[in-house]
Amino acid sequence: MNAELLKQCEEKAKSWLERNYNDETKEAVRKMLENNDKTELIDSFYQNLEFGTGGLRGIMGAGSNRMNIYTVGAATQGLANYLKMQFPKLKQIKVVVGYDCRNNSPYFAKTVANIFSANGIKVYLFDELRPTPEISFAIRHLGCQSGVMITASHNPKEYNGYKAYWEDGAQLVAPHDVDVIKEVNKITDIDNIKFEPNSSLIEIIGREIDHIFIDKVKTLSLSPDSIRRHKDIKIVYSPIHGCGAKLVPMALKEFGFDNVIKVDEQFVLSGDFPTVVSPNPEESAALDLAIKKAIATDADIVMASDPDCDRLGIAVKNEKGEWVLINGNQTCMVFTYYLIKKWEELGRIKGNEYVVKTIVTTELIKNIAEKAKVELYDCYTGFKWIAAIMRENEGIKSYIGGGEESYGYLIEDFCRDKDAVSACAIMAEIMAWAKDNGKTWLELLQDIYIEYGYSKEKGISVVRKGQSGATKIKQMMSEYRANPPKEIAGSKVVLIKDYHTLTAKNILLGDIAKLDMPTTSNVLQFFTEDGTKISVRPSGTEPKIKFYIEVRGKMNTRADFYDAEAKANEKIAEVIRDLGV
């Protein structure tokens, strides 16, 4: 154990006992100091929980590196100070505050509302938990300058988080992201945080916004006739103990679907997520209960949203009647294909339309867009970047849709964060549309592969917790930069993109081009001769480094699907061995 680090953490912890923290916090700190095992003490105090460009996210508990009312308070005070600097002539600055199902979420949200109001800022506070996209919508609808959502999305139950939004309903981007961080970092003393509320500036909102939001979502429907003909398709839905329980069934009903089967055990709202190990629809086990219900009811499709209802996972039946999990790339590809196809059918393609994907999402989406002569934007991971492109094009070009491989999609432009409410409704519509065209969902996917080429993707996350883990992740990225692979799975690396230096190095030609991106990001990409793409990036919200693997193949008929899949899996296994992960 690093003796100097331990000494620093002990001194920092002792200072918490001498200052105006509440008794509960002080007692938790005393226990850490008295414990012979200093692991928790070091992890809780070795750094300040960083207010990053997306806000806060961390394990709940006492300490400078934990989510608690003091780290949340400092973030809110800093944001309040920044808002007053940015809108000095505005008679009344307004914000929206929402929260999810997690433990302490209502408490943190109330704390946020109190601090904003104490700073003279009008607060619209939701009466109960609500989906993240509804908070984004409400910011725009109510003409607010900012907003905060208390959520840790799909992280484990020990976590909570704080998402900060700007007046367009999107998470912060330059220059506001960096400038807000500066203001937050200035809050070094909790006595500078105004905790005492001005209750007259806090307005409770709820059902009235729900109905307005759902009415807007309903306008997204592109195939109402298909829904009328197949309104009775059996849809199994799970909110995985979270916010989707509030609005997804309502949205499906408004679209016209009248056979929604709830996974009752997971409609129990709980921050302990009692029926799952991880409340993440990217994890197959999170859909186990829903698939069990689907088998029992002979359902047509399974849909599940994460705790703050901004991600969607689905499962469908294959030709044998077996349930198959669909990955985020496949879902994003089907969304893009369907939206473009329907826009074409409805005569909406005028030549100024665009779709957006992230750089780690399947390249097949580029093929779909190019064939339809629809512009494609590639952006960094995270919906704030998709929202930034929407903001740049507002009033100039028409947004069709955008998404990312991590199960997030946004079909509408009246919201500026990924939205599982609208995604569930449109996915059910796609199911009805496929039936109308004599196809199963899986056959629709297979036909896309036949037309645009086959791809198979796999994501791998290597978890490295605590201070030592953060160091190991940095070392891994440094090693990949210093000694990049020359060959992966038997195919030569021909292109390396480094978004940290914003350079693209063509290995064959030996030249280096500049990448046109709004800022730098700690991401590396390797492209091989046979079309394989590998992306490597440390997570911005979790203690892990992520690998995104995409390999290419070919399909001539639906019958080729499983052979193409088997070959792709073999290729992916080779890639994983060569990367050593």
* 58 and 123, same domain (yes or no): yes
Peptide bond into 175 cis (omega under 30): yes
* 354 and 234, same domain (yes or no): yes
* 409 and 462, same domain (yes or no): no
Peptide bond into 249 cis (omega under 30): no
Q: What is the pTM of this model?
A: 0.94
CA distance 417 to 133: 6
CA distance 383 to 386: 5
Q: State both tokens at 485.
A: 């692979």
Rg of the chain (C-alpha set): 24
Sign of the four-CA dihedral 26, 27, 28, 31: positive
Judged against a pLDDT cut of 90, whether residue 344 lies above it is answered with yes
Identify the helix (H) or strand (E) that includes residue 549: strand 544-553
Per-residue confidence (pLDDT) for residue 464, from 0 to 100: 80
Phi, psi of 38 (to 5 degrees): -95, 10
Average pLDDT for 276-293: 96
* 287 and 170, same domain (yes or no): no
Domain-ending residue, one of 205, 240, 259: 205
* 418 and 532, same domain (yes or no): no
* 217 and 201, same domain (yes or no): no
How do residues 59-115 score in pLDDT, each as one tens digit? Answer: 999 999 999 999 999 999 999 999 999 999 999 999 999 999 999 999 999 999 999
65: which residues sit within 8 A by CB, 6+ positions away?
43, 44, 45, 46, 47, 48, 49, 58
153 is catalytic: yes
Closest CA to 148 of 174, 128, 119, 123: 123
What is the DSSP pairing of strand 301-305 with strand 312-317?
Answer: antiparallel
Per-residue confidence (pLDDT) for residue 2, from 0 to 100: 81
For the domain that residue 540 is a member of, what is the CATH number?
3.30.310
Average pLDDT for 454-462: 92
How do residues 295-341 score in pLDDT, each as one tens digit? Answer: 999 999 999 999 999 999 999 999 999 999 999 999 999 999 999 99
CA distance 312 to 240: 11
Per-residue confidence (pLDDT) for residue 473, from 0 to 100: 86
How do residues 23-51 score in pLDDT, each as one tens digit? Answer: 999 999 999 999 999 999 999 999 999 88
CB 3 within 8 A of CB 12: no
Q: For tokens 């779909």, what's the residue?
A: 368
How do residues 215-261 score in pLDDT, each as one tens digit? Answer: 999 999 999 999 999 999 999 999 999 999 999 999 999 999 999 99
CA distance 64 to 16: 9
Domain-ending residue, one of 205, 232, 249: 205
CA distance 146 to 204: 16
CB 497 within 8 A of CB 525: yes
Per-residue confidence (pLDDT) for residue 465, from 0 to 100: 75
How do residues 553-579 score in pLDDT, each as one tens digit? Answer: 999 999 999 999 999 999 999 999 998
Cα three-residue angle 471-474-479, rounded to 5 degrees: 125
* 150 and 258, same domain (yes or no): no
* 233 and 287, same domain (yes or no): yes
Residues written for the chain = 581
Per-residue confidence (pLDDT) for residue 174, from 0 to 100: 87
CA distance 165 to 136: 7
CA distance 541 to 388: 20
CA distance 278 to 22: 32
Please count the structural domains in the chain: 4
Judged against a pLDDT cut of 70, whether residue 542 lies above it is answered with no
* 239 and 265, same domain (yes or no): yes
| Domain span holding position 498 | 454-579
Domain-ending residue, one of 179, 205, 231: 205
Task: Count other C-beta atoms under 10 Å from residue 40's C-beta.
Answer: 17
Judged against a pLDDT cut of 80, whether residue 540 lies above it is answered with no
CA distance 418 to 383: 6
For the domain that residue 333 is a member of, what is the CATH number?
3.40.120.10
- C-alpha to C-alpha distances, 127 to 96, 120, 202, 281, 359, nearest whole angstrom: 12, 21, 11, 26, 37
Per-residue confidence (pLDDT) for residue 544, from 0 to 100: 87
CB 227 within 8 A of CB 431: no
318: which residues sit within 8 A by CB, 6+ positions away?
324, 442
Percent of all residues in the chain with a pLDDT value above 70, rounded to a whole number: 99
Task: Count other C-beta atoms under 10 Å from residue 577's C-beta.
Answer: 11
Average pLDDT for 427-449: 98
* 224 and 166, same domain (yes or no): no
Region label for 459, one of left (φ > 0), alpha (ψ between -120 and 50) or beta (otherwise): beta
Q: Sorting pLDDT into bands at 50, 70 and 90, what band is 541?
A: low
* 355 and 440, same domain (yes or no): yes
CA distance 151 to 87: 27
How do residues 403-425 score in pLDDT, each as one tens digit? Answer: 999 999 999 999 999 999 999 99
* 431 and 477, same domain (yes or no): no
Q: State both tokens at 348.
A: 């909406």
Mean pLDDT, the chain, whole residue set: 95
- Choosing from 44, 64, 105, 153, the catalytic residue is 153
Phi, psi of 456 (to 5 degrees): -135, 135
Judged against a pLDDT cut of 80, whether residue 466 lies above it is answered with no
